Structure 1
């Protein structure tokens, strides 16, 4: 009986030891996987790529600066994280005081980048499993400016730009692209890549330009003004009409023979200046034809002369209207 009991006890003891060993192995596996310092970082990146800003903010334990929050959720956030690829999680590095640093390596648009997350152990669950949390910090701020515009597009989302500027709280890592695309004004896209909370963020500056559509609209109105001016000068038979062009002579011009025409219309150039859009001075050529009489000899000759002319305008543009006001000096 005693030998049988010893064998039974030995079996129980072996089973207990195996169970303890298995439990230790299981605890280590859990602490190195779902309870590892890397896990909050994985969940954070997943939240970014899913556009779940509230979840990402909770995992990052970050404070939000007093800035525009348009980039912190939904499409804008998903777009920022969409180009993150090839993510590799490094081993946790001890930083003392129950803190570790977890590095991740990844690429954005082919550029190799690294972000480091500082975490601290905040306790345990079920006595054995570690709890880790990203150390709190403020979110970075991205500054955006745009020339002569009060709106822009940032990561596919329309944003207001009071007085041509705004600041946006942003998550990291990510890529942010600003652009302006309108019927009359546009700016080429410009990008900034943010890899960490302490990495300086390059501002996005949109250099707005007048579109070909606006130049064509202004050119059409200038052409209409000049053609009307020439037609009116013909009807009124004026050598010096209320137009940018005129002709002076000491001869007598035969009434009814004056014929003005525009031989070269001005090229239109529109530039920003002093918070407005201005049209550069408009230069062109006009031809006058007429019959003239020399007051001294009485000889009759044909007048056919081309005159250079130049004038300025005031340009006013609203949402769907272009107004060009000629400014003539006499």
Structure 2
């Protein structure tokens, strides 16, 4: 009877020991997975990729500096992380004072990058499981400028650019792309990668240029002005009309024979200057055809001269309206 009790007690002891060992293993497994320092980082990156800015900000426990918050949620945030691939979580490195550093390696557009997250032990749950939290810090700020424009597109989202500049709080890691694609002005896309909070973020500077559409609109108005000027000069039979071009002669030109035409229209070039857009001086050629009488011999000859001309204009753009005002000097 006593031997049977001993065997039963031994069996129960073995079961208890196995249960304790299994519990220890389970605790270690949980502490190395669901309760590991890497877990808050995984949840943070998952929130970024889903565009859940509020959740990401809570996990990062970051403060938002005085700046525009357009990049902190939704489509803009998803776009920032869309090109992140091959994420690998490194082992936690002890930094003392119950803090560890968790590195992640990944690529953006083929470039290999690394971001380090500093975490601190925030407590335990159910007596055994560690809890970790990312050490709070301020979000990075991305500065964007655009020449002679008050708007731009950043990560696919239209943003205001007062006086051609703005600053945006951004999450990390991520890639941010700015561009301008307007009817009359555009700027090629430029990108900045934000791998972490430690390094300064390179600003995005958009070099705005006049579109072909604007140049065509200005060219059409300039050509219309020159054609009208030539037609008016014909009707008024003037050698020196109120136009950029004129003809001088010591002979008498026969009235009714003067015919002005534009033989070469100006090439349009529009550049930024002094906070506005200006049209470069316009250079062209005008042809005059007429008959003239030599005052000394009375001989009638045919005039067919081409004159170079140049003038400037003032360009005014209001919403969808393009106004070109010729500036002539006499």
Please state which band the TM-score falls in when normalised by the shorter chain. Answer: over 0.9
1-structure distance, mates of 2:47, 2:177? 20
Q: Provide the rounded CA distance (Å) in 2 between the counterparts of 1:124 and 1:324.
A: 72
CA distance in 2, matches of 1:3, 1:302: 141
Per-residue displacement from partner, 1:258-277 (whole Å, max 9, x unpaired)? 10000000000000000100
Give the structure 2 partner of residue 107 of structure 1. Answer: 107
Write out per-residue CA displacement over residues 68-126 of structure 1, whole angstroms, 9 at most, x where no aligned residue. 00000000000000000000000000000000000000000000000000000000000
Give the deviation of 1:3 after TM superposition: 1.2
Q: Which structure 2 residues correspond to residues 79-90 of structure 1 after superposition, within 5 A?
A: 79-90=79-90
Partner Cα distance (1:15, 1:235) in 2? 116
SS of structure 1 residue aligned to 2:137: coil
1:231-270 → structure 2 map (5 Å cutoff): 231-270=231-270
What does residue 122 of structure 1 align with?
122
For 2:240 and 2:254, locate their aligned partners in 1 and report how far apart those are by CA, in whole Å.
Answer: 15
**Normalised TM-score (structure 1):** 0.99
Instruction: String of CA shifts for 1:301-325, please: whole Å, max 9, x gaps.
Output: 1111110000000001122111100
Residue 283 of structure 1 corresponds to 283
Aligned to 1:4: 4
Q: Does 1:160 align with 2:170?
A: no
Matches within 5 A, 1:197-236: 197-236=197-236
Partner of 1:221, secondary structure, is: helix
Structure 1 runs of 4+ with >3 Å offset:
none
Corresponding residue for residue 318 of structure 1: 318
Alpha-carbon shift at residue 175 of structure 1 (Å): 0.2
Helix, strand or coil for the counterpart of 1:202? coil
Q: Helix, strand or coil for the counterpart of 1:192? A: strand
Q: 5 Å matches for 1:28-177?
A: 28-177=28-177
Match of 1:20 in 2: 20
How many residue pairs are counted as aligned between the two chains? 330
User: Cα distance, 1:11 vs. partner?
Assistant: 1.1
SS in 2 for 1:41: helix
Cα deviations by residue, 1:138-194 (Å, 9 ceiling, x for unpaired): 000000000000000000000000000000000000000000001110000000011
- Following the alignment from structure 2 to structure 1, what is the Cα–Cα distance between the partners of residues 304 and 78? 68
SS at the partner of 1:104?
Answer: strand
Distance 1:83 1:261 in 2: 57
The alignment's TM-score, normalised by the length of structure 2, stands at: 0.99
User: Where does the alignment leave 5 or more consecutive residues of structure 1 unmatched?
Assistant: none
CA shift at 1:329, angstroms? 0.3
What is the CA–CA distance in structure 2 between the aligned matches of 1:265 and 1:110, rounded to whole Å? 48
* Distance in structure 2 (CA, Å) of the matches to 1:113 and 1:98: 27
Separation in 2, partners of 1:269, 1:98: 64
Gaps in structure 2 of 5+ consecutive residues: none
